[in-house]
Amino acid sequence: MDQPVQLLSYQRLKSKSTFIISLQHGNGTATPIYEVACLSSNPNLSISRIQPTYHQQQQQQQPQYGYPPAPHPYYQQHQPYPPQQYPINNPPIITTIGTVALSSMSSKITISIHNIPEVKMKRPDFLASGHRFTHPRYGTLEWKESDLFEKRFKLVDSNKTVLARFDKWKLPEQQQQQQSKSSIWGSSSSSSKKKKKAWAFQIFVNADPVLLDWIIVSGLGVVEYRITSDKEWEEELLGNDDDDDVWSALLG
């Protein structure tokens, strides 16, 4: 299997109303990229991007992640996010970029993203397990269950090119052994027990920030649908209260 261009991981706990999706770097550290709020009514999820408030230094030309270039040049070439450190006195800006709403009457998923208030994600037919939607630039895309029992998804285009995958992922040793500390949101972890498993979106194309937003928002939509429709999925995807705190686990 090809190496991903970018890998974004998260852990989600039942006791938390929010969780962070972080971009993993080749050196074992991670940068928070998205904050996801779990809501008690529609929409079910609200997804925000985390952006620094200070002036970014000019990006280096050499990629810093150790991943090879994407093999599909027809997607816009874009340098992945550089590693960022957020000083305590310069907290990041949290900007909502999308939502996920599930239907109580059908398998339909409705997402909003950027200036598009409603995008329908539907199953191609009654027996299909995937959800298909239309992207304004890349046409028909579909999240498909690549392995039902292992709880894996893949995002493919109309040419069956794999753009992204969703799967279990093991946190780097550096993050597993990280000492408990306060986060930039004022949260802290008192647990010394580290949860080694996380979940990750593996990105196989050079996605610009807008396409990356589409991948994450739509991917969270299909995952949330499976959580609400399948108790086994809920138990697998949502960590127990005794698991490691999501903030310290994902902040490298």
> Which residues in 18-35 are b (16+ Cβ under 10 Å) and which e?
bbbbbbbbeeebbbbbbb
Q: How many structural domains comprise the chain?
A: 1
In which domain, by residue range, is 1 found?
A: 1-53+91-173+197-237
> Does residue 64 lie in a domain region?
no
Q: What's 118's domain CATH number?
A: 2.40.160.200
> Does residue 110 lie in a domain region?
yes
pLDDT tens digits, 151-160:
789 999 999 9
User: Mean pLDDT across the chain, nearest whole number?
Assistant: 77
> Does residue 131 lie in a domain region?
yes
pTM exceeding the 0.85 threshold for the entire prediction: no
pLDDT tens digits, 163-206:
999 998 887 777 766 633 434 444 444 444 445 568 999 999 99
